[in-house]
Amino acid sequence: MSKAKTSSRTAKKDDNTPLMERLPSNVPFAPLVRRPDYQLRFVKFSVPTTIPIEIIIAVVFIGLFFIYMGGFYDLAQDNLSAFGSDKQGNPIVIYPNQLDSQFLVEGMAAGLLMFIGAGGFFLLYYSTQYAYSPKNATVLLVVGIGVVALAWIAIMYMLLTKMGIW
């Protein structure tokens, strides 16, 4: 039942009583079902006054990734292509025999590998936080060293392929 029983005749039009309390009590409902007691409220939207820290961190990481992948260099190039092809028409990803030119995908791959390597260094740092749990520290240390080593090997492979040594 409603909290306060008032008939619709006694309720004022400008009164702040909920809608269900302004309805007459003899509204037909099924037997053994009580009248719902809803209070309709206005939905209020507000503009946040501060920028969430997650958005700031995401913008910083996107900016770092843009710098790592050579985004400014790609913007300054006249002929920007995503892939290349060799003499037989096979697609190539790494620009051959020139260190001062790159394809778009090559820069993105190098940037991603550098980001993965930075994540490995983060794991190395994070392993020092587990001084009282040597097992967790050892696992994080080994994984961090492995990630850094794999990222370094992949970047060196790309560089040696680009120079024509490999």
- Nearest 5°: phi and psi at 84? -130, 180
pLDDT reported for residue 127: 93
* 83 or 26, higher pLDDT: 83
- Residues 5 and 73 occupy one common structural domain: no
Count of Cβ atoms closer than 10 Å to residue 140 Cβ: 20
How many whole angstroms from its chain centre is CA 124?
23
How many whole angstroms from its chain centre is CA 91?
32
Residue 50 in domain: no
- Residues 35 and 64 occupy one common structural domain: no
CA distance 5 to 38: 14
Where does the pLDDT of residue 30 fall: very low under 50, low under 70, confident under 90, or very high at 90 and above? low
- Residues 69 and 123 occupy one common structural domain: yes
- Residues 81 and 143 occupy one common structural domain: yes
- Residues 115 and 40 occupy one common structural domain: no
User: What mean pLDDT value characterizes the chain?
Assistant: 82
Mean pLDDT of 151-162: 94
- Residues 33 and 85 occupy one common structural domain: no
Q: What is the pTM of this model?
A: 0.61
- Residues 141 and 80 occupy one common structural domain: yes
Number of domains composing the chain: 2
- Residues 61 and 25 occupy one common structural domain: no
CA distances from 6 to 2, 3, 14, 32, 114 (A): 9, 9, 15, 22, 71
- Residues 92 and 32 occupy one common structural domain: no
Identify which of 141, 143, 116, 120 has the alpha carbon closest to the alpha carbon of residue 131. 141
- Residues 3 and 68 occupy one common structural domain: no
Residue 117 in domain: yes
- Residues 91 and 136 occupy one common structural domain: yes
pLDDT digits over 109-138, tens only? Answer: 998 999 999 999 999 999 999 878 999 999
- Residues 66 and 20 occupy one common structural domain: no
Mean pLDDT of 39-57: 83
Residue 104 in domain: yes
Out of 5-9, 101-105, 110-114, 124-128, least confident range = 5-9
pLDDT reported for residue 36: 65
pLDDT reported for residue 116: 94
Where does the pLDDT of residue 24 fall: very low under 50, low under 70, confident under 90, or very high at 90 and above? low
Asked whether the predicted pLDDT for residue 11 surpasses 50, the reply is: no
Q: Which domain holds residue 8?
A: 1-45
